[in-house]
A and B are shown apart, each in its own frame.
Chain A
C-alpha cells in the first residue's frame, strides 16, 4: 500500500503500487495510520498553526479543482436551464485528451519548463476539441428539446453521458489500458517541480497544490472577466436574465446558447486536463461520475445559475473536504467521513435554503 503521509495529501513522485480504484467521490486513497488518537488529542493537533495553514492550503487546492469542475455546469444551467448530466463525462474525455497530448509531446528528456509549457498547449487543445464537441451536441441534440419540460434535457444529457462513457471505455480498452485505473503514463509526464513538496518556512506544501490553486484562480478570473468585461459576456448575462427580451433587442440567443454550451464543455475538458496530473483523480473512465456528483453539490450549494455562488460553493466544499480528510487520516477511522460530509452539506443546504446561497428562486422552479 501507499505509505500514508502524516500530513495531508498522499502525493508520490512516480507511479508506485496502486491503491484500490475508488468509485465514489474521490478522496485520499490512504489507509488510516493512527487510529488510537483520542478526540481531544486530535483537536489539539488540528489547532496547531502549521496544521491549520496546511489544511487551509489543501482546502484551497481542492476548492480550485471543484470550481473548475463546476464552473461550466453552472454557466450552462444559468443561461439555458439545462442540467448537463454529461458534464462529468466531458471532464473525463478532457483528461484523456490531455493525457494523449502530454504523452506524445513529452519524452524522458523534456525539461521541467518544457513539460509545463506542453501542459498549457494541451489545455488549449483540450479546450478547443471538447468545446467544439459541446457545440455539436447543443446544435444536434439539445436544441430540439428547449420547448419540452426541463426533465427531457436531464434525460437527454444522461443518455449522452452513457454513450460517451461506454465509447471511451471501448477506446481505452482497445489501446490496452485499464479503464478503471489512472493512466500512469500520463501521470508520469508531471514535472518534478509539481510532484515534490516544497518547504515554506515550517510548512511543506505540495507543488501540485500550488499549481492547482493558480489554475483555479486563472479560471475564475477568466470567466469573470469574460462575463463582465466583454460584449459577448453581456449578451450571455442578458440572455440568462430574460431570453425573450434579449432576442427582441437583436441578440441571436440561439447562437449565444451554442457558444455558452461550447464554453461550459470546454471548461469541463480543461478541468479534466488538470485532474490528469493529480494522483488522487487521474485520467480514468469512472472519473465521469466522480466529478459529476461533486460538481452538482458545488453548483447547488452556491445556487444554480450564479457564478459567484459556484465560487463560494466550491470554497465551502473544498474546505470541508480538506478538514474532514485530515480528521479521517489522523484521528478517526471512518473512511466515509469526507464523502458523507460533502453530501450532508448538500442535503442541509437543500433543507435550509433550497435555492442555494446566491440563487434566485425562480431559476429551476419550472
Chain B
C-alpha cells in the first residue's frame, strides 16, 4: 500500500498542482525534491531504527555510516580512491560504499558492544564525532574540507542507477544531471526519474531489511531488546547477533549516504558526519514508530512536510507564499501589537523554524505515544496495518 502510494505520488502531485486547488496543494504537499530526500534519508532512518529500535542499542553515532557512504561515492567519482577509476558505475561504488560502511560498523561494533545503555550511545557518538572533526580538516577529500567535496569534472555525467555496464538499463539521477524519460506520451522530468530510481534502490533495501526482521535472526534481535540476559540464557550468543545487526544497519546506512551523494552531487560534513544527522534519523524513528521498519519513513515525511510548509518564500510551496497569494497586503500588514505585523510574526516565529514545532511534536510523542505513529496504529488495529485494514474492511461489508 505504502509502495503504491509512493509510486503514485508524482502523478498525484502533478495533477493537484495543475488543478483548481493548486495553491493549497503547493502550500501543503511536499515538492518532488523533498520526496527524493525523503526516500534516501528515510532509508537512513530505517537503518538507524533497525539497530536502535529492534535491538534497543541506541546508535547515536549512526551519521558515521551515512557520511562514509556519501564521501566514498563522491571520492570515487573524483578519482581519489586508488584502484577505482572515476568512471566506475554508480551501482558498483554504491555497493562498495555500503560494504565499507559495514566494515566500519564491524570495527566500531567490536569495541562498542562491550557497553550497553547510555554508554553505548555515547561511544558511538564519540566515534562519529572523531570522524566528523577529522573529515572537516582533511584536505585530501576536498579543496576546502569544511565545505565538503563536490563531484568534479572527472564525472560530469549523472550517476546512473540500473544494471552496471548495460547502458539501456540505466537511468541517471540528479536535479540537473538526471535524465528525462518519455513514457506513454508523458515526459517524466529529472526529479520524477530520480524519484523512481532512488525509490527503486530504497525499495529493494526495505524488502531486504523486512526479510531480515521477520527471519529468526530478527526474532533474536527483538529478544535482545526485551531481555538480553534471558536471550543469552536461552543459548544465543548475543554479541554475534548484535554485531550482525549493527553491520547490516551500517551497510544500509552507507547505501543511503551513497544515494544522497549520488543525487545531490555535493555533501558537507554537517549534513553527513555531524551528530545531528543521526538526530534527524532519531526524530524520524520516534515520530514514525520506534521498532517498526516503515515507521521512520512516515516520521521523516512528517518532519520534511512541516519543514517545507514553514520554509521561506522562494523555496517553493509554503505557508507564507500561500497567504501572500490569498490574503493580500491588508491582512498581512495588520498590526497585532507594538508594530508587529502578521507577516512579521510569521517570518519571525514560523518560517525556517520548523525545528521548534517538530521538536514539540517529538517531545509529545516521547511522552504520550512512545510507539510512534505506526506502532500506535498497529496496537490500535491489533496487528500490522497491511494485514488488519483489509480484514476490518471485510468485516464492514
Contact surface of A with B, Cβ cutoff 8 Å: 23-25, 81, 83, 141, 144-145, 148-152, 154-156, 158-160, 162-163, 165-167, 169-170, 173-174, 289, 293, 296-297, 300, 304, 334-336, 339-340, 343-344, 346-347, 350-351, 354, 364-366
Contacts and interface: CB of A to CB of B under 8 A. Distances in A.
Contacts of A289: 275-276
Contacts of B360: 159, 163
Interface stretch (B10-18, B35-43, B120-128, B258-266): B120-128
Interface string B97-125: 00000000000000110111111011101
B304 to A, nearest CB: 16
Contacts of B112: 350
B58 A343 contact: no
Given A296-B122, A336-B138, A351-B111, A166 B370 contact: no
Contact of A334 (B132, B137, B274, B283): B137
A319 B117 CA distance: 29
Given A149-B56, A160-B359, A343-B133, 17 more contacts: A23-B274, A83-B122, A141-B363, A145-B366, A151-B117, A155-B366, A159-B359, A162-B355, A162-B362, A165-B355, A289-B275, A300-B126, A304-B118, A336-B138, A344-B130, A354-B114, A365-B119
A155 B115 CA distance: 19
A173 B356 contact: no
A166 B355 contact: yes
Nearest to B112: A350
Given A23-B270, A166-B353, A335 B137 contact: yes
A169 B354 CA distance: 12
Interface string B279-297: 1001100100000000000
B376 to A, nearest CB: 16
A173 B352 CA distance: 11
B137 A166 contact: no
A24 B132 contact: yes
B299 to A, nearest CB: 13
Contacts of A150: 117-118
B117 A347 contact: no
10 contacts: A24-B129, A25-B133, A160-B359, A163-B363, A170-B349, A289-B276, A336-B137, A343-B129, A343-B133, A365-B116
Nearest to B370: A152
Contact of B362 (A159, A300, A344, A364): A159
B348 interface: yes
Interface of B: 56, 58, 111-112, 114-119, 121-123, 125-127, 129-130, 132-134, 136-138, 270, 274-276, 279, 282-283, 286, 348-349, 353, 355-356, 358-360, 362-363, 366-367, 370
A296 B137 contact: no
Contacts of B56: 149, 151
B125 A159 contact: no
A336 B134 contact: yes
Contact of B119 (A24, A293, A297, A364): A364
A296 B118 CA distance: 11
A350 B111 contact: yes
Given A304-B118, A350-B123, A364-B118, A340 B130 contact: yes
Contacts of B121: 83, 151, 154
A163 B349 contact: no
Given A154-B58, A293-B129, A350-B123, A162 B136 contact: no
B126 A343 contact: yes
Contacts of A149: 56
Nearest to B119: A364
Contacts of B123: 346-347, 350, 354
Nearest to A167: B356
Contacts of A159: 359-360, 362-363, 366
B126 A297 contact: yes
Given A144-B367, A336-B134, A347 B126 contact: yes
B367 A156 contact: yes
Contacts of B363: 141, 156, 159-160, 163
Contacts of A347: 111, 123, 126-127, 130
B118 A158 contact: no
A289 B366 CA distance: 22
Contacts of B58: 151, 154
Contacts of B270: 23
Contact of A354 (B119, B279, B349, B358): B119
Contacts of A155: 282, 286, 362, 366
Pick the 7 closest A-B CB pairs, nearest first: A336-B137, A162-B359, A166-B356, A163-B359, A159-B363, A339-B133, A166-B355
Contacts of B362: 155, 159, 162
A366 B116 CA distance: 7
Contact of B117 (A160, A166, A300, A365): A365
Contacts of A167: 356
A131 B284 CA distance: 31
Contacts of A351: 111
A81 to B, nearest CB: 8
Nearest to B117: A366
A83 B118 CA distance: 8
A346 B348 contact: no
Nearest to B57: A151
B136 A336 contact: yes
Contacts of A173: 348
